[in-house]
Amino acid sequence: MTNPFMRIINKKALHNYHILERLEAGIVLSGAEVKSIRAGRLDLGESHVRVLNGEAYLVNANIPMYGPASDKEYDAQKSRKLLLHRDQIDSLIGKTSGKGATLVPVSMYEKNNRFKVEVGLAKSKKEFDKRKVIKERDHVRRVEQELRGKE
């Protein structure tokens, strides 16, 4: 039985980028790819979104081949088309051109029996930003531990 609330999160993107804006997009998948994702076999770590010829594609997402599938020439890292409206694509092109912003997949999840990709308009973090986030997280964790210890 698969988890109906399964959400595969791209932790690397959340660590390396400030997510400025989020957008939900459909994705074109084969049946074997759907079964592989439902089994939890998906790696979004090195992936990004690229707009080519007015269409958005998820590039470098690794979906390993589903075991029982018989496709011999299957490419786990092929580009997969994202389903967005024309005005959404035009808006993304305008926002990413020139400002140092990029498009990264933040997560993938199932909604109404269809897989959706949450695409984030992102700006790269500097090294000191990453250290600051880790420091704040450690501080919050220490405070929570102290509060739990005094109860």
Set out the domains of the chain in order of their start, with CATH numbers.
7-124 (2.40.280.10)
Indicate whether 131 pLDDT > 70.
yes
Indicate whether 127 pLDDT > 80.
no
Give the pLDDT of residue 151: 54
Indicate whether 1 pLDDT > 50.
no
- pLDDT tens digits along 40-98: 888 888 898 998 988 999 999 888 888 777 777 778 788 899 999 999 998 888 888 87
Whole-angstrom Cα distance, residue 58 to residue 74? 17
Q: What is the pTM of this model?
A: 0.76
Q: Does residue 60 contact residue 80 with C-beta atoms inside 8 Å?
A: no
Whole-angstrom Cα distance, residue 103 to residue 82? 12
Indicate whether 107 pLDDT > 70.
yes
Give the pLDDT of residue 5: 64
- Per-residue pLDDT band for 118 (boundaries 50, 70, 90) equals very high
H/E segment holding residue 134 = helix 127-150
- Other CB atoms within 10 A of residue 59 CB: 17
Between 66 and 106, the higher pLDDT residue: 106
Q: Which amino acid is at 69?
A: A
